[in-house]
Homo-oligomer: A and B are copies of this chain.
Amino acid sequence: MRMKAISLFMGLAVAAVGASTLASTVRDEPIKPIEPYVSEHPEKVQLGKKLFFEPRLSMSGIISCNTCHNLSRGGTDNLKTSIGHKWAAGPVNAPTVLNSSLALAQFWDGRAADLQEQAAGPIQADIEMGMPHALALEVLQSIPGYVDEFESVFGSREITLDMVTAAIAEFEETLVTPNSRFDQWLLGDDDALTDKELAGYKLFKDSGCTVCHNGPAVGGTSFQRMGVLEPYQSTSPVEGRAAVTGKDADRFSFKVPTLRNVEYTYPYFHDGEARTLEEATDIMGRLQLGRVYEEQEINQIVAFLKTLTGDMPRLTLPMLPPSSNDTPAPDPYAD
Q: Measuring CB to CB, which residues of chain A are less than 8 angstroms from any residue of chain B? A: 53, 55-56, 60-62, 67, 70-74, 77-79, 83, 86-87, 89, 263-264, 266-267, 275-276, 278, 312, 314-320, 322-323, 325, 329-330, 332
Contacts and interface: CB of A to CB of B under 8 A. Distances in A.
B266 A319 contact: no
A319 B275 CA distance: 21
Contact of A316 (B70, B73, B74, B314): B314
A60 to B, nearest CB: 7
Contacts of A87: 86-87, 332
Contacts of A332: 79, 83, 87, 89
A254 to B, nearest CB: 22
Q: Is the interface of A mostly helix, strand, loop or mixed?
A: loop
A276 B317 contact: no
Contacts of A330: 78-79
A317 B317 contact: yes
A61 B74 contact: no
A67 B77 CA distance: 14
A87 B332 CA distance: 9
Contacts of A78: 56, 61, 323, 330
Contacts of A329: 267, 275
Contact of A320 (B62, B72, B315, B322): B72
Contacts of A318: 72
Nearest to A71: B317
Given A73-B320, A78-B323, A278-B325, 12 more contacts: A61-B79, A62-B67, A62-B77, A72-B317, A72-B320, A78-B330, A87-B87, A87-B332, A275-B329, A312-B319, A314-B317, A316-B317
Q: In this complex, which of A71, A83, A278, A312 has the most chain B Cβ atoms within 10 angstroms of its Cβ?
A: A83
Contact of A322 (B53, B60, B266): B266
A329 B276 CA distance: 11
Contacts of A86: 87
B72 A263 contact: no
A278 B83 CA distance: 36
5 contacts: A55-B73, A55-B77, A62-B83, A72-B318, A263-B322
Contacts of A56: 78
Nearest to A265: B322
Contacts of A55: 70, 73, 77
A71 B275 CA distance: 31
A97 B266 CA distance: 31
Contacts of A263: 322
Contact of A72 (B70, B267, B319): B319
5 nearest A-B residue pairs (beta carbon): A87-B87, A315-B317, A276-B325, A72-B320, A264-B322
Nearest to A325: B276
A87 B319 CA distance: 25
By CB atoms of chain B within 10 A, which of A77, A86, A322 has the most? A322
A74 B315 CA distance: 18
Nearest to A267: B329
A86 B88 CA distance: 9
A320 B66 CA distance: 14
Contacts of A317: 71-72, 314-317
